[in-house]
């Protein structure tokens, strides 16, 4: 079948690989070591790349998340996986936040993050590069969870005809929902900023379920599945109340 270029019918979809390490490029040390804790904003950023399928082809999305606020502070989209994708995402984050020198930028070992252009952008901004081990998603677990939330709440619920349609949907989701309405839901578990009344830091972010792929991950705490389960339970309780009332009237 391989020689005749045939393949069986399967439910499996084609997955796009976004992390391709460059064996010749130098790698930054792991400065985080799975300690995803930040006492103030703009102390630790996490970055990753994902993809969105459209009828026109793939659209790649790079995001940068602040660990303390858990907001997406930078993002960029392109039709290819060139280094400009992550450079643009980092450039947005730096222009928005204007962090002080010494901020740690943590990512995987993809060729985009080990490129000369990205390294020069980090140095010009006074940021420190940090990279996890190869093939270990737990070394960047919180940003994997963010990617999973975007997939579950946006990408897996829609079909995009064009890349421009996907770009508008991603912009609307990140800027009007995730970073605004979603920040209220995440504030219960996010690490507090350093204030005069702050007493103790929250525990580090939970790792994703090891039995589930980090690309699919766990659904968001306020995802559609959780809402449907809540509505189903409410309907069952209401049905039981109606049956009890009917039985009492008949007696």
Handedness of CA 130, 131, 137, 139 (dihedral sign): negative
Predicted confidence (pLDDT) at residue 10 exceeds the cutoff of 50: no
Pairing of strands 104-107, 72-78: unpaired
Confidence band, pLDDT 50/70/90 cuts, at residue 12: very low
Residues 149 and 216: their CA atoms lie apart, in Å, by 9
pLDDT digits (tens, 9 = 90+) for 91-147: 999 999 999 999 999 998 888 999 999 999 999 999 999 998 766 667 788 999 999
Nearest by Cα to 96 from 36, 207, 175: 175
Question: What's the distance, CA 247 to chain centroid?
Answer: 51
- Nearest CA to 144 out of 95, 135, 185, 31 is that of 135
Q: Compute the average pLDDT of residues 68-77.
A: 95
- Helix, coil or strand: residue 144: helix
Chain position carrying tokens 């270029």: 5
* pTM of the complete model: 0.65
């Amino acid at each position: 079948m391989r020689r005749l270029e045939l393949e069986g019918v399967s439910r499996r979809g084609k997955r796009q690989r976004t992390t391709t390490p460059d064996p010749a490029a130098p790698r930054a040390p792991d400065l985080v070591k799975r300690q995803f804790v930040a006492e103030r904003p703009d102390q630790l950023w996490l970055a990753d790349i994902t993809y969105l399928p459209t009828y026109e082809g793939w659209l790649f999305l790079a995001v940068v998340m602040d660990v303390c606020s858990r907001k997406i502070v930078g993002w960029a989209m392109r039709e290819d996986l060139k280094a400009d994708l992550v450079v643009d995402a980092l450039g947005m984050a730096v222009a928005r936040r204007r962090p002080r020198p010494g901020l740690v930028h943590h990512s995987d070992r993809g060729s985009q993050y080990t490129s000369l252009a990205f390294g020069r952008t980090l140095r010009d901004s006074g940021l420190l590069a940090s990279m996890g081990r190869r093939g270990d998603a737990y070394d960047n677990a919180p940003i994997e969870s963010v990617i999973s939330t975007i997939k579950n709440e946006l990408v897996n619920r829609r079909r995009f005809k064009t890349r421009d349609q996907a770009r508008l949907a991603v912009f609307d989701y990140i800027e009007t929902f995730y970073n605004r309405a979603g920040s209220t839901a995440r504030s219960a578990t996010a690490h507090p900023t350093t204030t005069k009344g702050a007493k103790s830091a929250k525990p580090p972010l939970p790792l994703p379920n090891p039995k589930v792929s980090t690309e699919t991950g766990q659904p968001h705490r306020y995802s559609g599945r959780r809402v449907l389960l809540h509505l189903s339970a409410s309907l069952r309780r209401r049905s039981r109340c109606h049956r009890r009332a009917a039985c009492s009237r008949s007696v």
